[in-house]
């Protein structure tokens, strides 16, 4: 969330910056709630001051051997009045939290203004699209023909939008997981984390999925557990509520999890293949840094994701999202879109964002510049990005490396993991 005082003091400016991102009514609700709350707090604090004075008088009188019954009577009245007003102060506090949690992050100055993806800016392109002497198949045909993915049997287990990976398909998924984690830990300096695949409400609130996007999540009935929609949730919340020292930063974390998304409201979109699933696997990158280095960190984190695409020889483009297309919590986002020859389009495979202090405020991650207790604790900046979505990498590989005979070549870097050079037309690794 945004800082309450900062929002109050820069209200008109922030209103302009959030133009395409929030209903103006929500900002008016903030201003109104804020002034109501402050008036109520001021009142109740004056009453508390009166109560404390009277209590001190009672203590003094008792020490002098008097009973001070009249003072006690006054104090009792003040106590009752405080009690009465407490409820409305609490309600205003909650209203304040509620309205603040519905206000998205302010876009960075370098973010293009716009209402949707049409204002996005392509900032880079890498790799040559493969040329085929035949018409390249989409992965759903290719994968099913090879027998390495099975949608019909997956439907028996869990329904639509699930996949069962079989044989070389399963091994390819596992190889990608290992390759990505190895690369990020060995070459890019990330620490590997294997977190729980469920998280509680507080964590999802902290990273911004709740309260607004509960419909996108799976919740475990009768519990406060949610299936994680991304490893961003556990990795960022790892340090929730902690005050770190400057020496601890930057913190670089990578982790593999399955990601579970209800995909409510996406009926009819990307229904074929493994583009949009209720469960997909992903290796995530998280950086926790000081405010002054967060934009440099965004560039580096994005390059870490790009390195995976380049190592795998997958052509892609890099897109700077417009203010209208960015996620709720982000201040700046790059999307990496991989080329899919079977589908004949670029498709998002990684989304790398700087959240500035937005998530740090919600999760309570602070740090101290100078050691010890001297020096105020400040909020850190958090960033994350996919490094990469494994399911989409899987399909990008089979579509880009497909051969005329129906087989698939394997990128060099994966061959040691799979101990094979290609997937033969029958689906076996050879």
Active site residues: 261, 276, 348, 351, 392
- Candidate segments 136-144, 186-194, 282-290, 369-377, binder of RNA by CB under 7 A: 369-377
Give min distance, CB of 187 to RNA, in A. 32
Instruction: Say which residue the tokens 């922030």 belong to.
Output: 14
Tokens (6 digits) for 43 = 């009142």
Q: Is residue 101 involved in binding RNA (CB under 7 A)?
A: no
Running DSSP on this structure, what letter comes out for residue 215?
G
Give min distance, CB of 298 to RNA, in A. 26
How far is CA 21 from its chain centroid?
17
Torsion sign (Cα): 392, 394, 395, 399: positive
Give min distance, CB of 297 to RNA, in A. 24
Task: Tell me how far apart the alpha carbons of residues 17 and 1 are, in angstroms, rounded to a whole number.
Answer: 15
What dihedral angle (degrees, nearest 10) is formed by the CA atoms of 425, 427, 428, 430? 40
Rg of the chain's alpha carbons, rounded to an integer?
A: 27
**Residue among 363, 382, 355 at smallest CA distance from 240:** 363
Instruction: Say which residue the tokens 């008792």 belong to.
Output: 62
Interacting positions 79-98 with RNA (CB under 7 A): 79, 83, 90
Residue 86 — φ and ψ, nearest 5°? -60, -40
Q: Is residue 70 involved in binding RNA (CB under 7 A)?
A: no
β-bridge pairing 422-423 and 377-379:
unpaired
Residues contacting 293, CB < 8 A, separation 6+: 250, 381
- Candidate segments 34-42, 127-135, 266-274, 350-358, binder of RNA by CB under 7 A: 34-42
Among 65, 159, 265, 372, binds RNA (CB under 7 A): 372
Among 370, 405, 416, 430, binds RNA (CB under 7 A): 370
- Candidate segments 106-114, 208-216, 318-326, 373-381, binder of RNA by CB under 7 A: 373-381
Q: Is residue 45 involved in binding RNA (CB under 7 A)?
A: yes
How far is CA 177 from its chain centroid?
20
Give min distance, CB of 208 to RNA, in A. 20
Give min distance, CB of 197 to RNA, in A. 14
For residue 286, the cross-strand partners are 253, 384
Give min distance, CB of 195 to RNA, in A. 15
Q: Is residue 243 involved in binding RNA (CB under 7 A)?
A: yes
Within the chain, what is the greatest distance between any pair of CA atoms?
Answer: 104
Among 22, 31, 58, 166, binds RNA (CB under 7 A): 58
How far is CA 69 from its chain centroid?
59
Q: Is residue 376 involved in binding RNA (CB under 7 A)?
A: yes
H-helix segments, 64-167: 69-101, 139-146, 151-157
Q: How many residues bind RNA (CB under 7 A)?
A: 32
Give min distance, CB of 108 to RNA, in A. 23
- Candidate segments 23-31, 68-76, 321-329, 399-407, binder of RNA by CB under 7 A: 68-76
Q: Is residue 371 involved in binding RNA (CB under 7 A)?
A: yes
Q: Is residue 38 involved in binding RNA (CB under 7 A)?
A: yes
**Residue among 189, 180, 398 at smallest CA distance from 308:** 180
Q: Is residue 269 involved in binding RNA (CB under 7 A)?
A: no
Among 23, 24, 28, 62, binds RNA (CB under 7 A): 62
Residues contacting 428, CB < 8 A, separation 6+: 167, 168
Q: Is residue 121 involved in binding RNA (CB under 7 A)?
A: no
List of residues contacting RNA (CB under 7 A): 4-5, 38, 41-42, 45-46, 48-49, 51-56, 58-59, 62, 72, 75-76, 79, 83, 90, 243, 370-374, 376-377
């Amino acid at each position: 969330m945004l800082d309450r005082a900062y929002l109050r003091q820069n209200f008109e400016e922030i209103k302009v910056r959030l133009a395409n991102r929030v209903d103006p009514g929500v900002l008016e609700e903030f201003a109104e709630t804020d002034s109501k709350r402050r008036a109520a707090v001021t009142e109740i604090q004056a009453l508390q001051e009166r109560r404390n004075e009277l209590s001190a008088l009672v203590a003094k009188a008792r020490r002098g051997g008097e009973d001070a019954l009249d003072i006690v009577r006054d104090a009792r009245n003040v106590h009752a009045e405080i009690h009465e007003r407490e409820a409305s102060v609490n309600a205003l506090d909650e209203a304040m939290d509620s309205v603040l949690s519905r206000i998205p992050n302010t876009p960075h100055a370098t973010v293009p203004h716009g209402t949707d993806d049409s204002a996005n800016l392509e900032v880079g392109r890498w790799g040559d699209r493969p040329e085929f002497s035949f018409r390249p198949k989409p992965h759903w045909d290719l994968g099913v023909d090879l027998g390495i993915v099975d949608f019909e049997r997956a439907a028996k287990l869990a329904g639509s939008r699930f996949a069962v990976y079989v044989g070389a398909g399963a091994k390819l998924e596992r190889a990608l997981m290992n390759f990505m984690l190895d690369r990020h830990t060995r070459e890019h300096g990330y620490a590997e984390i294997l977190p729980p695949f469920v998280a509680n409400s507080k964590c999802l609130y902290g990273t911004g999925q709740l309260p607004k996007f509960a419909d996108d999540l799976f919740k475990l009935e009768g519990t406060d557990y949610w299936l994680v929609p991304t490893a961003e949730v556990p990795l960022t919340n790892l340090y929730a509520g902690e005050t770190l020292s400057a020496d601890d930063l930057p913190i670089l974390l990578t982790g593999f999890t399955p990601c579970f998304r209800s995909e409510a409201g996406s009926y009819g979109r990307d229904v074929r293949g493994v583009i949009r699933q209720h469960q997909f696997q992903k290796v995530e990158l998280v950086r926790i840094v000081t405010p002054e280095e967060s934009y440099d960190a965004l560039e580096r984190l994005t390059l870490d994701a790009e390195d995976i695409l380049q190592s795998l020889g997958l052509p892609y483009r890099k897109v700077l999202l417009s203010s209208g297309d960015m996620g709720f919590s982000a201040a700046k986002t790059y999307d990496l879109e991989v080329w899919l020859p079977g589908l004949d389009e670029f498709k998002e495979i990684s989304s790398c964002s700087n959240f500035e202090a937005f998530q740090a405020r919600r999760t309570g991650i602070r740090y101290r510049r100078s050691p010890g207790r001297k020096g105020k604790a400040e909020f850190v900046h958090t960033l994350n990005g996919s490094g990469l979505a494994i399911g989409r990498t899987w399909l990008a590989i089979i579509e880009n490396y497909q051969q005329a005979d129906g087989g698939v070549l394997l990128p060099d870097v994966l061959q040691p993991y799979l101990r094979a050079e290609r997937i033969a037309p029958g689906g076996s690794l050879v």
